[in-house]
Amino acid sequence: MSDISWLVPVILTVITASTPLLLAATGELVVEKSGVLNLGVEGMMVVGAVAAFATASSTGSAVLAILAGLAAGAAVASVFGFLTLGLVANQVATGLALTIFGIGFSALIGAGYVGYALEPLPKLDIPVLNDLPFVGPILFGHDALVYFSFAALVGVSWFLYRSRAGLVLRAVGESHDSAHSIGYPVLRIRFLAILFGGAMSGLGGAYLSLSYTPMWAENMTAGRGWIALALVVFSTWRPGRLLLGAYMFGAITILQLHAQSAGIGVPSQVMSMLPYLATIAVLVAISRDATKIRLNAPGCLGKVFHPAR
């Protein structure tokens, strides 16, 4: 047993690096399944991160901080929803606007919080189970958001493929005109999906500022929102592969951190490029099969819907 004990801290850090990606990508999966492409994940994450950190440091309550992250993500997502659904704005441009706005807004809110550190979120502590060798810390030693990220993924899979409401949501994403003509409220369903996506992105951001690195720094999401977007494409819009993708990226992130601290002769900046290069590599690997993308992508992804047309 002892020869693999070094694996325990590695796996633990992989889990913490993967969780924010999994949370945000799970939310974006639902949004895209409803036919909406929200490129503002990065913006919603960073706003969630600052809202959670500000709440935690002023109230000291982890629960309130998590709720603040959720609410802040949903709030900025509602602006995206209003513009793209209510005012039929271009989804690509509005998503970019959301990211630019989110980075500026969070930097403004967070200006007074730079340099403070928080206690990380409390870890689950079960006396006997936690002390089990190997499996104990890996299965039981996490904070609530890690477990929630798995629960959310399972819940979303069930919702999308086993519930009637999920079927309607997918129908809206495949063909909004057909769904509209049989009387489903396309815009309302999409708006709710956008709010859910915003809340999950906000939660991903909250995890970063409350647990992964319990502090606030400007632009601290560092492209994770974009990686989450790429993960949804990588997953070909399927929850199981989303989990695989998120953990693969978490592992790459941690691999490069460990390689840096082990002092192998590669400059730190080159190692830091790895997650971004890996994103490009997986995108290429999955996109080269154009048929696969066409068959799996929601039919109306990114298309504008106006019922009177």
* Binding stretches for another protein (CB under 8 A): 39, 79, 82-83, 87-90, 92-94, 96-98, 100-105, 107-108, 111, 183, 218, 222-223, 226, 229-230, 233, 267, 269-270, 272-273, 276-277, 279-280, 283-284, 287-288, 290, 293, 306-309
Closest approach of Cβ 250 to another protein, in Å?
Answer: 17
Q: Where are the alpha helices (DSSP H) in the chain?
A: 7-33, 41-59, 62-81, 91-110, 127-130, 135-140, 144-162, 164-174, 176-181, 186-207, 224-234, 239-261, 268-272, 274-287, 290-296
The rounded distance, in Å, linking the Cα atoms of 149 and 162 is: 19
- Cβ proximity to another protein: between 162 and 288 the closer is 288
Closest approach of Cβ 69 to another protein, in Å?
Answer: 19
The rounded distance, in Å, linking the Cα atoms of 138 and 237 is: 28
- Cβ proximity to another protein: between 86 and 122 the closer is 86
- Cβ proximity to another protein: between 163 and 287 the closer is 287
The pair of structure tokens assigned to 218 is 């400007």
Amino acid at 108: L
Closest approach of Cβ 8 to another protein, in Å?
Answer: 30
- Cβ proximity to another protein: between 183 and 263 the closer is 183
Closest approach of Cβ 56 to another protein, in Å?
Answer: 20
- Cβ proximity to another protein: between 100 and 151 the closer is 100
Q: Do the Cβ atoms of 161 and 281 come closer than 8 Å?
A: no
The rounded distance, in Å, linking the Cα atoms of 26 and 151 is: 11
- Cβ proximity to another protein: between 193 and 282 the closer is 282
Closest approach of Cβ 44 to another protein, in Å?
Answer: 13
The rounded distance, in Å, linking the Cα atoms of 6 and 233 is: 33
Closest approach of Cβ 160 to another protein, in Å?
Answer: 22
Residues facing 215 on adjacent strands: 117
